[in-house]
Amino acid sequence: MSTPLSALSNILSSGIATIESAYANHGATFPSMDEPFQPGSFEEDETLCQTIDHVIAAASQLIALVKPAPRTVVESAFSFYLSASLQVVVSANLPEILREAGPQGLHVKDIGDKCGSDPHKIGRILRYLATNHIFRELSPDIFANNRASSVLDTGKSVVTLKADPVAKYDNTFGSAASVGHLTDESMKAGVYLADNVLDPRTSTSQELADSPFSCTFRCGTMFEFFEQPGNEHRLRRFGAAMHGTSSPGALGKISNGFDWASLKQNALVVDVGGGFGSATLHLMKDYPHLRYVVQDRPKVIADAVKFWENEDPDALKSGRVELKGHDFFEPQPIKDASVFFLRGVIHDWPDAYARKILKHLRASAQSDTKLILNDFLVPYAAYSNNLFSDIPGADVPSPPYPLLANLGTVSNRAVMTDLQMMVIANAQDRTIGQFIDLVDGTGWKLGSIGRSPKSLRSILVFHPVQV
């Protein structure tokens, strides 16, 4: 067997050759880091996605292998400055300032003038980010956008952003809004993660008020914090971030893992805690033979009406889609659902609260009703050794030696989101084993798992346990 060093090198060289060949076959070249980000129409190909993931995993593992351990841990401890620096550039509209400056870039003195901040400090922050491949320094003290920083660009003019900063992220893709949310209130709360986890009073608590977020801002939940005076911009930003995750590409291919087409004509799908109904909108377009109910808090449903009147007013008029106020901690009033669908809901709640939701749904389910969760599935860094082989879709092909079972940093989004939920809501994203434990005693059983390329969000299908 080859050494880990040479094996990682082989994965990189063969993977790069495969990637370049795939682009060449489509008459394209792999995008430069200096170009704005543009998603490729063929980049959803499952084989290409897997190859790219293997290259990312091998490259990051190779760095971890050859970098001296003291450098690894010290640089990791310093890494909070990456988030802090991103907060600065997003808040100061630097991606938009540099986009308007054009490919020739802009000197830090001019950047400082345009954003109203010390050019020396702005330059140091941009240089740190450029050192980590976000932005680029074209020549000493002259900076421009690159592929990564372009994702932070709202696409709006600087004049527009300054005129109405509260609406900065309205009608944007969502990436910049997500970074704003993560590097502002989330990062402030994350500072107290260790205090929270090591405090005997809060360590084992499943109460929402005992989350690091609630303790940091002395509020109930994050949503109560958003509704406080002065946080209007945070609420709008969070809404834009969440709407961005509901784009067709970000939905994690909710048709994967369940045969929606097999449901009978006019079968009822209940989108529980569905917000405005963004996921339902995409499902309805693919499966118009079904009926849909979107449930959420009455205040959310009032705004959802406006969303549907803009997106598809005929769906409401025809009754194909209904919007209903409902608290999912109360008994579920709908008794004839073919599917209870929850997207990104269960990960918002600690186990004790999540079980209440699931028990109410089971009490209203028919013998053939399906419970479908569209959530992040946290992959184990260790191999499961066929521990869940009885569940279709649970096992995935093992990556080549010596990659970690979860491909290391390829799974960062899942494990980071898990910590995010711990910080803001005392909740969690879950592994397969944790989902199995969660539904134990609720009347549901995990039946299958569907996955999608380029997404860690999975479709988990649960069946009623017959009493």
Alpha helices for 26-93 (secondary structure H): 46-66, 69-78, 80-91
323 in Cβ contact with 301 (< 8 Å): yes
The residues that bridge with 292 in the sheet, in sequence order, are 269, 321
Write the burial class of residue 62 (CB in 10 Å: 0-12 exposed, 13-18 middle, 19+ buried).
middle
Helix (H) or strand (E) holding 127: helix 119-131
Sign, CA torsion 439/444/445/449: negative
DSSP class of residue 254? T
Beta strands in 219-338 (DSSP E): 268-272, 291-296, 321-325
Query: Cα separation of 333 and 411, whole Å?
Result: 38
Residue 347 annotated in active site: yes
State the burial class of residue 342 (Cβ atoms within 10 Å of its Cβ: 0-12, 13-18, 19+): buried
In whole angstroms, give the CA distance from residue 218 to residue 236: 21
Q: Which residue, chain included where needed, has tokens 């860094």?
A: 381
Long-range contacts made by residues 414-420, C-beta under 8 angstroms, separation at least 24? 414/376, 414/377, 414/378, 414/379, 414/456, 415/378, 417/347, 417/376, 418/376, 418/378, 419/190, 419/193, 420/182, 420/186
DSSP per-residue letters across 196-251: HHH-TTTTT---GGGSHHHHHHT-SSHHHHHTSTT-HHHHHHHHHHHHHTTSTTTT
Q: Token digits for 453?
A: 């390329």
Q: If you ran DSSP here, which 8-state letter would residue 440 be given?
A: T
Task: Note whether 463 and 370 are within 8 A (CB).
Answer: yes
- The residues, ordered by sequence, that sit 6+ positions from 277 with a Cβ below 8 Å of its Cβ are 271, 292, 294, 304, 307, 308, 321, 323
Residue 340 in tokens: 């209870």
Residue 85 CA to residue 83 CA, distance in Å, equals 5
Rg (the chain; Cα; Å): 23
Q: Which of 54, 243, 347, 360 is catalytic?
A: 347
Positions marked catalytic: 347
